[in-house]
Structure 1
């Protein structure tokens, strides 16, 4: 029995029990049983809203100086009041991603003994059940190779397949109809319209088709539905396209064309090409963390057992890890038009119907979606995000000028597919001046893992250089201490007490997150400019600025300070850990190089975790796990991962945010927990930063024996490791570049030089064999 699959011995009655599939643009959650199956269809570009100019009420530098003076004088209330007047644009037609429709199959005969599975090794869902002693089968996949969703239904009885299929739109403007040229064809069209995040009159249009063909039996259709009766086999083809980013009307015919090509190709070849395309990426990494008899149980039972502490199940963690890689491949392929959003590529129709929006939150959530991309050997999946960052950098030039009178580019807390980079419509959470920079630092990660000089010179450096130009122009010397600081800005999305009062404040000068991001930016841009021998004046400006940036500070309680001043936390239970960014996922703080700061980070973690009413949120728990991993605290990291998988996952292993966060009334799927948890597991097994390649840095006792193949490390390295009884046995290192690092395992610490195109095998003492 494969350990790389989710399986259940009962129907899925809701979205949160369904299987996610996707091809990088088109996706579905598939749920149901013997009587009915629903495909909740989503498409990454199906957004309400439109591109429009955002009006600023700020005159630029003069207003900014006037605003900053309030904070320098300790007048937080006055500063926040003025910031609301100058730096809070209206929401207008910001928009949101919306689900497209439900494909609903209703079956004529009821069945028993339903078994459902999602096989991660081939990205195919299967459902089987019994009708009068005969087995009925369904299998479905979303093909990236051919751009559509395909489903095959067959029965052991020669005439055992009978069903009705129709579409139900998820927005007001949606219609479907039977095509006159074929009884097995339905066409549809719609528009992504809603009135909470836009005016209800603007949004992306979609058009597509669904084709059904059968072997034997009868097929008919009217009133927007198709009826299949007494067939031996049926195949359903579903394809769609939108007018996002295109001109003309050719896009209207793409969906139908894909279906026709797929039918001509045939199901078996579609399946073979799908598996080949998917396996070329998924099979790069394998992970074993041990064995357990619990592997034989249905996935929902295993999740409950973990939650209740009933036995060790190391294969569940390996499954969760590979599930994160699977979700990445479903939602972000090299040619995907857009990166992963708040819900990856799916949409439970909840976040988009409330104040959150199903958008690009760029104050942790979108960043965390990409934490595991490089380490887990899916570098190509970074490309949609890289293209998106390029667009933000271009549209963010207007925001830099209009709101701050500054050069370069800036983006804040949230963004969309229309180029929104302005401060959001409420300063308490929306004035995060380093949101765009935080996202753009993924470019540094992509470079450090690939060492592509072409990428550095043509993409990363130009974008990050323009960000550096913004902060050089925007930042100001603090009159109290002479440091060069950002602000006013927030520490996402936290508040503090100042001046001895109990009033909650959110804006200040020089938050820790801002400062560490700017420090990392300036140092990386300076290093790149020196490497290429360009921009000498910029180099000089950066060297001067770096010398005046604030250091990381330790507060009176021994914690890592979240703000420039050692304010009293108004919400010590807060879900965000942004000021620990330098510990995880960045690496300015490490136990071996900055032990005092590492201990301060630990104090912060323990303080947050022990606080009453601690906000128990999926991305927070993933961040806790990553931070403990960086502190080499294996058991604490394992405890957090266990909590994430056991208590913050739906039955389908997709992570959720609990009710109460941001006004949510029920659990809402949020993708970052899956991706952040996957990244944390990888980090517990391999770290590559601060000039070191650290093997098994946070290996918990529950994973005492295991192995992995294909994890990636900074320096363009690919690593395999085998361990047993908690001790390293063997290491293999494959190199794509020439370089030097330090190999670290436990107390062993050895220099390691390598040449491109080589493979090195090392023993438990790190000796080359």
Structure 2
């Protein structure tokens, strides 16, 4: 039995126990057993809403200056009231991603000997169960290569395959009909009335085809019946009109299915595996397997939740599962990036105030934390294209709301690049939301050193962001610092030290804003110098950098979250945005800023130790990443253990607890999976602040192990083997030339490397060229 497999010895009764598959655009959550099975179908572009102009009640820089003066004067009440008047547009047809439909198969068998498996080594889902003395087998995959879902069912008896199949819509407009006895055709539209007017949304059209060997196939009333066959193949394809012109999309699913049938199931499966493993096989991780790894996955999770911590390979499974989910949801040609729920949809978040959208105040960013280090750089490309689209919409937001050049986006966005402030300033006026997600452009370049990407994509987009902040920011009259604002520290509140003890949200120069702007200005300055362009901008950036506020330590020894040392109104809050400076940014490091590192530890301990701490998936993943950056491997391990044992469904998908952020029930959120994957990688390898740090936060529980294929900044790829907690051997492949400082425990050594060379490094940091 493969260790890197999710498997279960009983049926899945509901969505949250199902197993996810996807091809970067089309996906399914598959659950059920011997009696019936459901495929909950999702498609990344199936959004309600529409692109529309968001009207501003601000008319340029003059009202913004008046607004800021309230905060400079310490009148937070007047400032927040004015911000609501001019920077809080009405919610219109923002929309949300919606589940499309359910494919329901009914077999009518008793639940005997059901075994469900998802092999993440080849992205194949299988189910089997007994029928008297016979066995019925099913397998399913989502092929990126051919753009559809493929499903095979067969029996150990020559006439043992009988079932019915039908579709049930999940939106206000969905219809399926029998096109023939073995084909269901369907169409629909992504309509809902919580986040839009119920009349606008993306349209879809697709087909389900059933091809049986032996037996009889009949179809009527939106249902297909198969009786007495020895094998059946089902193909599912759907396409939408998102971002297309003309009507060619209406025939796309039929075309895909025709081509798939010509190719045949066996070839589809082989091509799927080859395509998937091109990305997946780049990285291998082993933390030491034992017999516990052979237990069903739900039992392994339950043991961990009960404090039985003897399953190190469960962490390797969780790590590689994160990479699997990335490949399911984000391929190089995906039309949209990963959203709040990756590419799946539990039909909960989209029906409440949350929306299944792009949250730009950590959630979408965290989805992409493991992309580069996890050696899936191509999966970044849909996000790169989306950021370019966001910047286009952000130009209007910059002009209309602030009277500034460049581009800006705020807390949330949608399939059409919504960039305006959201409809409540307390959480929607995050003026660096667009910049935060655009930081992934910097990340992609730092890992790849792709100069063409820097010249044509990263620098042009980030330059326009820098132009906005240069035009938008103001000198603080008290400190003489260049500050943003009014803005929020997502999504926290403070007491303004004015004796009122009223929860305040808006202020000038939040720590998150200043860190993001500092990184932006420095990156653009260095890029402009490298590209030998924009001399005047270089001067402006250099001058502005000198005026930015420093990171500050508060009276309690904590890292300040705001420019002033305000008292936290919600010390238990799930967001810790100011610790972005520690992770994933690198403005705080134990080796170069020890005092700030100590302050970050105080902040971490205070958040974790506060009464009624908001125990939520992305916070726990962030805690783990921060502890890894502080080289506290055992503390990081504790957080990952908590994430897996307490905040995962039986299928290892992470969720948000009821009672937090307005959630009335458990809601699947993808960021915990991706953030946890990234944190595990940071425990094994770090490459920031000019250092290449080997095994920087190795926990005692992973006493022996190995990994291969993790990527590092500077276009490096690293393999490491360790025994008894000590590095035994390291191999580094260089894809570009450069220099970094090697770091392992208390040792350091300069490391000059050349493109195309391979280097061996031992525990004493002695380097050999083994090319």
TM range (shorter): over 0.9
Q: How far did residue 641 of structure 1 move?
A: 0.3
Superposed CA offset, 1:499-525 (max 9, x none): 122100000000000000000000000
TM alignment of 1:617-766, pairs within 5 A = 617-766=616-765
Choose which of 442, 449, 452 in structure 1 pairs with 2:450. Answer: 452
1:293 corresponds to 2:279: no
Match of 1:430 in 2: 428
Match of 2:19 in 1: 19
Choose which of 349, 352, 357 in structure 1 pairs with 2:350. Answer: 352
Match of 1:578 in 2: 577
Match of 1:162 in 2: 162
Q: Distance in 1 between matches of 2:567 and 2:745?
A: 38
Q: Distance in 1 between matches of 2:238 and 2:96?
A: 19
Q: Secondary structure at the match of 1:515?
A: helix
Assess if the C-alpha contact under 8 Å between 2:21 and 2:328 holds in 1: yes
Q: Distance in 2 between matches of 1:138 and 1:439?
A: 40
Choose which of 268, 271, 275 in structure 1 pairs with 2:269. Answer: 271
Match of 2:437 in 1: 439
How many residues of Structure 1 are paired with residues of Structure 2 in the alignment?
A: 767
TM alignment of 1:307-346, pairs within 5 A = 307-346=305-344
Match of 1:35 in 2: 35
1:237 corresponds to 2:235: yes
Q: How far did residue 757 of structure 1 move?
A: 0.6
Q: How far did residue 532 of structure 1 move?
A: 1.3
TM alignment of 1:112-131, pairs within 5 A = 112-131=112-131
Q: Distance in 2 between matches of 1:590 and 1:757?
A: 30
Q: Secondary structure at the match of 1:651?
A: coil
Q: How far did residue 766 of structure 1 move?
A: 1.9
Match of 1:512 in 2: 511
Q: Distance in 2 between matches of 1:22 and 1:109?
A: 28
Q: How far did residue 549 of structure 1 move?
A: 0.3
Match of 1:90 in 2: 90
Q: Secondary structure at the match of 2:200?
A: coil
Superposed CA offset, 1:43-69 (max 9, x none): 000000001100000011000001000
1:44 corresponds to 2:52: no
Assess if the C-alpha contact under 8 Å between 2:11 and 2:111 holds in 1: no
Q: How far did residue 85 of structure 1 move?
A: 0.3
Q: Gaps (5+ residues) in structure 2?
A: none
Assess if the C-alpha contact under 8 Å between 2:36 and 2:108 holds in 1: no
Match of 1:470 in 2: 468
Assess if the C-alpha contact under 8 Å between 2:43 and 2:343 holds in 1: yes
Q: Secondary structure at the match of 1:30?
A: strand
Q: Secondary structure at the match of 1:565?
A: coil
Q: Secondary structure at the match of 2:172?
A: coil
Q: How far did residue 748 of structure 1 move?
A: 1.1
Assess if the C-alpha contact under 8 Å between 2:335 and 2:382 holds in 1: yes
TM alignment of 1:172-187, pairs within 5 A = 172-179=172-179, 182-187=180-185
1:228 corresponds to 2:226: yes
Q: Distance in 1 between matches of 2:119 and 2:479?
A: 58
Q: Secondary structure at the match of 2:39?
A: strand
Q: How far did residue 111 of structure 1 move?
A: 4.5
Assess if the C-alpha contact under 8 Å between 2:34 and 2:108 holds in 1: no
Match of 1:483 in 2: 481
Q: Distance in 1 between matches of 2:523 and 2:309?
A: 46
Q: Distance in 2 between matches of 1:169 and 1:622?
A: 35
TM-score computed with the length of structure 1 as normaliser: 0.99
TM alignment of 1:602-617, pairs within 5 A = 602-617=601-616
Q: How far did residue 760 of structure 1 move?
A: 1.0
Superposed CA offset, 1:387-414 (max 9, x none): 0000011110000000000000000000
Superposed CA offset, 1:527-583 (max 9, x none): 111111111110111111111100000000000000000000000000001101110
Superposed CA offset, 1:439-473 (max 9, x none): 00100000000000100111000000000000000
Q: Secondary structure at the match of 1:408?
A: coil
Q: Distance in 2 between matches of 1:212 and 1:455?
A: 44
Q: Distance in 1 between matches of 2:563 and 2:111?
A: 64
Q: Secondary structure at the match of 1:552?
A: coil
Q: Distance in 1 between matches of 2:532 and 2:514?
A: 26
Q: Gaps (5+ residues) in structure 1?
A: none
Match of 1:208 in 2: 206
Q: How far did residue 312 of structure 1 move?
A: 1.4
Q: Distance in 2 between matches of 1:603 and 1:338?
A: 39
CA-atom RMSD, angstroms? 0.6
Q: Distance in 2 between matches of 1:319 and 1:500?
A: 51
Q: Distance in 2 between matches of 1:573 and 1:763?
A: 44
Superposed CA offset, 1:283-341 (max 9, x none): 00000011222111110111011111113111000000000000000000000000000
Q: Distance in 2 between matches of 1:108 and 1:196?
A: 37
Q: How far did residue 97 of structure 1 move?
A: 0.2
Assess if the C-alpha contact under 8 Å between 2:647 and 2:655 holds in 1: yes
Match of 1:7 in 2: 7
Q: Distance in 2 between matches of 1:386 and 1:136?
A: 44
Assess if the C-alpha contact under 8 Å between 2:709 and 2:719 holds in 1: yes
Q: Distance in 2 between matches of 1:711 and 1:663?
A: 37
Match of 1:527 in 2: 526
Q: How far did residue 768 of structure 1 move?
A: 2.5
Superposed CA offset, 1:242-264 (max 9, x none): 00000111101111111111111
TM-score computed with the length of structure 2 as normaliser: 0.99
Q: Distance in 2 between matches of 1:224 and 1:765?
A: 69
